[in-house]
Amino acid sequence: MSAVSNDAATGTPEEPVMDHRKLPRRRGAALNAAILRAALDELTEVGYARFTMEGVAERAQASKASLYRRWPGRAELVLDAAHHALSTYATPPNTGSLRGDFVTVLTETSRVLAGPMGEALRGLLGDMLASPGRMAEVREYSGGRTMRMMYDVVSQAVDRDEVDPAALTERRLEAGLALLRYHFLFNGAPIPDEVVTGIVDDVMMPLFPPPPGK
């Protein structure tokens, strides 16, 4: 007998019901990993606007309850899934020059924005504009991974006596990344190489001058 049948009164199809007894028996890290993989696949296939917790549960062969126990809503799940996808790029570059490291970080960031992370960023911004109260919630779940990478890169340059330590401030670290995201949001992906090098040469390098007297 089919899992979908017609309602006798309305003639509309009933929603299929997932039989939890037939779901794979997974717990802890294994279940989390399956859900995060499914969330990325769902985001890539249908986009953020059509992304649902139900769709992820079905794709991951997990119950909706198991998702809601871990994430209060789709924004938090999408953020965790997107950041999970970035875990392989964890070591700051060390090309031997600050400019080379900046170009590497921004090039990698632009590549990431062309994938699920970019789709997540667009969708999450829409959610925050529609419901300003969610901004703090989303910020709590978002990681400062790229900012930490930028901090490490500039710290390496300070250790090489290439950059004035006084220039290592949060606002200066944010500037290049903010311009890259701005270009992505208004022009889409892929981000051309000349945009990356332009941001590095025209904005970032002047913000991190050498120590006085050098």
Q: What pLDDT was estimated at residue 8?
A: 40
Residue 34 in any domain: the answer is yes
Q: What pLDDT was estimated at residue 13?
A: 42
CATH of the domain at 47: 1.10.10.60
Q: What pLDDT was estimated at residue 91?
A: 82
47-51 own/partner pairs: CB under 8 Å, 24+ apart? 47/119, 47/123, 48/78, 48/119, 48/120, 48/122, 48/123, 48/124, 48/126, 49/123, 49/126, 51/78, 51/123
Residue 110 in any domain: the answer is yes
Q: Is residue 35 within 8 Å of 56, Cβ to Cβ?
A: yes
Question: Residues 104, 53: one domain?
Answer: no
- In tens digits, the chain (214 residues) has pLDDT values of 444 444 444 444 444 444 444 545 556 688 999 999 999 999 989 989 899 999 999 999 999 999 999 998 888 898 888 777 765 556 889 999 999 999 999 998 898 888 887 888 888 887 777 776 666 655 555 546 788 889 999 999 999 999 999 999 999 999 999 999 999 989 999 999 999 999 999 999 999 999 998 7
Residue 2 in any domain: the answer is no
Which residue has tokens 């989390």? Answer: 32
Residue 85 in any domain: the answer is no
Length of the chain in residues, anyone? 214
Question: Residues 190, 120: one domain?
Answer: yes
Domain boundaries, position 34? 20-71
pTM exceeds 0.95 for this model: no
Q: What pLDDT was estimated at residue 142?
A: 53
CA distances (Å), 18 to each of 22, 23, 25, 180, in order? 8, 9, 15, 43
CATH of the domain at 119: 1.10.357.10
Q: For the chain, how many structural domains are there in total? A: 2
Residue 10 in any domain: the answer is no
